[in-house]
Chains A and B, each alone.
Chain A
Amino acid sequence: MNRSQILLFTVLSLAGMTITSPSRAIDFSYSAFGTIGAAISDEPVQYQRDIDDHGTFMRDSLLGGRLDARFNEKWAATTQVVLAASDKEDDVIKPHLKWTMVSYRPANDWLIRAGRLSLGGLLHQQNLDVGVTYDMARLPREVYLLSSDYDFDGVSVTKTWNIGDYELALDGSFGMQKRYYRTFREGRKQASYYSADVTGGGLVATLKDYDRTTFRFGWHITDIDPNTSDGMLTRYNFIPLGGGTYTINPATPFGYSSTFTVNTLFLGAEFPLGDFQLTCEGTAILPNSMESAPETYAGYISLSRKFDRWTPYITYARIWNNGLDTWRRVKSATNPYPPGSLQAILAETLLADAASTMAVFNQSSVMLGTSYALTPQQKIKAEVMVTHVGERSSMFDGDLAHENVTTFSLSYNFAF
């Protein structure tokens, strides 16, 4: 039995144990949601894994099915499966077990959930897969970069307070996850994946009204244990060659760490501004002492306005971190071996891989798009996005610097 099967069995068992003597039949409801999305850029270098000048449906398309069981006003269970691009290999579509949990609501202001959950943090973190619930064609990748990494197997406890028309909710959660990381190795011109066992939790505070206002602040802490023989690359060992040049130590090129900790902070707000709706979010990803994955900061601001069924928007997003200096040093490291030798060729590949696998981001995007609501449960979205890459962005598979990349996106989103 794999992890997902174990989880489903556990949740169904817990659900079965909650049924004592129901005063009425269990209410089952099923629903489905999906996105058929196409994207194409003007750049042959792949962006966000799938987007290039050939066009793709892989980046945004998905199909989800959900079954809800309501036993009584306190107990419920949910399971959800999403068919989408795999998170552990390129160009493969696979089913993913997503929200699968038992929920217990002992009173109006308490909610306890156990199973596979999305921890939340970013404003649309938890409803990311349901494209019809927001107007942007694609939530800014600069900020939602790690969004797929917040599905955990664990427990969440929520306490709410009603303050007039507002609801203040405090979510505390703890769980584990097997997470997959993708890196693109420039030297070998190929992507590779490795997995890690992640343990973590967090606290998220949300203030929301019945309408369109939401404020959120969150903090997550995760402990990451890579499933690799050496652990996680954390440090580059440079040695001077004299004359201002240096290389990476050929005997021990990298330092590794068996585990490392990442703190993540979120801040988001969404509220009406006259006839417009303003949405802005920021996030800070703070690994401890990792040269290969330095501290990263990202944010976006979006302005939209509803005209009957149309909701046009404009968004600016930016991501940056302080890893450029280290990346430049790795890129500029001198090959210590005689040119043409086998060792030199291998070292060249190693140095290229070392630079390309560093999580360095220096990019910004402007998006202009619109959604059109065919019905409250169906939306068509279209967007043009211009991404400016500074010196380097790990969201691109390859060396792209000081360039603008234009991406067109069109999608049909539904839920019922």
Chain B
Amino acid sequence: MRCTVYLTSLALGVLLSLMTTSVQAGVVVVCNASLPVAEKINSATLARIYTGRSIQIDGTGILPVNLAPGAPERTIFLHHIIQQKDDEYIGYWLVRKSIGRGTPPLEFKNAADLQRFIRSTPGAVGYVDEQHLEPGVRCIFTIP
């Protein structure tokens, strides 16, 4: 009986985890391992960086990167850092690009491609689901 209950619970858990695409762990803000100003990056500076208002921290160029629209990590990141939904963020950059005030951050389809870029690009900053974290990038902080 106990074994049956245990197996049923396990099966339900597996089924539920297969059905959902939500972020299982936290979203971690990461950067290139050699970024000298990583300790100065917080939510406020990230908000300015991801909206194009800042491109440097203490003279060090920062290159933000995003996951593609629809990624749950992106939704959590935008909500927590900029308090915007994806469509609002896309609309913000459409306007900013139209008026010649920059181009939106580069986008990557998955965490592996994003982290490969960050590892090879000085100044790059991004975010990933903690469970997809790979070695070679520096963790800055975790978004709950």
Q: Is the CB of A377 within 8 A of B90?
A: yes
Identify the interface centre among A33, A74, A127: most chain B CB within 10 Å of its CB: A127
Contacts of A103 in B (CB 8 A): 100
Can you pick out 23 interface pairs between chain A and chain B where the beta carbons lie within 8 Å of each other? A23-B122, A27-B106, A29-B103, A33-B98, A68-B97, A70-B103, A72-B61, A73-B55, A73-B56, A73-B123, A78-B100, A107-B56, A108-B53, A108-B56, A111-B101, A118-B100, A127-B99, A129-B98, A130-B94, A210-B92, A211-B83, A376-B90, A376-B94
Q: Does B91 contact A (CB under 8 A)?
A: yes
User: Restricting to B88-125, which residues have a CB under 8 Å from any CB of A?
Assistant: 88, 90-92, 94-95, 97-103, 106, 121-123
On chain A, the residues within 8 Å of B122 by CB distance are 23
> Is the beta-carbon distance between A31 and B121 smaller than 8 angstroms?
no
Question: In the complex, which residues of chain B have a beta carbon less than 8 angstroms from the beta carbon of A33?
Answer: 98
Residues from chain B with a CB closer than 8 A to the CB of A27 are 106
Chain B residues closer than 8 Å to A70, beta-carbon distance? 103
Chain A facing B: main interface SS: strand
Complex CA distance for A415 and B87, rounded to whole angstroms: 13
In the assembled complex, which residues on chain A have CB atoms less than 8 Å from the CB atom of B97? 31, 68
Q: Please give, as numbers and ranges, the residues of chain A lying within 8 Å of B99 by CB-CB distance.
A: 118, 120, 126-127
- Contact partners of B42 in chain A: CB under 8 A: none
B130 on the A face (CB < 8 A) = no
Interface mask (A51-94 → B, CB under 8 Å = 1, otherwise 0) = 00000000000000000101011101010000000000000000
Residues from chain A with a CB closer than 8 A to the CB of B43 are none
Q: Using CB atoms and an 8 Å cutoff, list the residues of chain A in contact with chain B.
A: 23-24, 27, 29, 31, 33, 68, 70, 72-74, 76, 78, 99, 101, 103, 105, 107-108, 111, 113, 117-118, 120, 126-127, 129-130, 132-133, 160, 162, 167, 210-211, 373, 375-377, 415
B92 partner residues in chain A, CB cutoff 8 A:
210
A105 to B95, CA, bound (A): 19
On chain B, the number of residues with a Cβ less than 8 Å from chain A's Cβ atoms is: 33
Which of A23, A107, A133, A162 has a CB less than 8 Å from the CB of B91?
A133
B137 to chain A, nearest CB (A): 17
| Max chain A Cβ within 10 angstroms of own Cβ: one of B48, B56, B90, B122 | B56
Q: State A111–B55 Cα separation when bound (angstroms).
A: 11
Contacts of B121 in A (CB 8 A): 24
Residues in B lying within 8 Å of A, measured CB to CB: 47-48, 51, 53-56, 61-63, 69, 82-84, 86-88, 90-92, 94-95, 97-103, 106, 121-123
- Would A101 and B100 count as touching, CB distance under 8 A? yes
Nearest-CB distance from B61 to chain A (Å)? 4
Query: How many angstroms between the C-alpha atoms of A127 and B86 in the bound complex?
Result: 20
Cα A407 to Cα B123 with chains together (Å): 53
Contacts of B123 in A (CB 8 A): 73
Residue of B nearest to A165 (CB): B47
A70 to B55, CA, bound (A): 13
A14 to chain B, nearest CB (A): 15
B94 with A415: CB separation less than 8 A = yes
B94 contact set on A, CB distance < 8 A: 127, 130, 132-133, 376-377, 415
Report the bound CA distance from A84 to B95 in whole Å: 20
A73 CA / B90 CA spacing, docked (Å): 20
Output the nearest chain A residue to B98 by Cβ-Cβ distance. Answer: A127
Q: Are A108 and B100 in contact (CB under 8 A)?
A: no
Residues of B within 8 A of A373 (CB): 87
Chain B min CB distance to A299 (Å):
22
How far apart sit A60 and B44, CA to CA, in the bound complex (Å)? Answer: 40
| Given A72-B61, A127-B98, also A210-B83 (CB < 8 A) | yes
A contact residues around B88 at 8 Å (CB): 211
Asked if A105 and B98 make an inter-chain contact with CB atoms under 8 angstroms apart, the answer reads no
Residues of A within 8 A of B63 (CB): 73
Which of B95, B98, B99 has its CB near the most chain A CB atoms (within 10 A)? B98
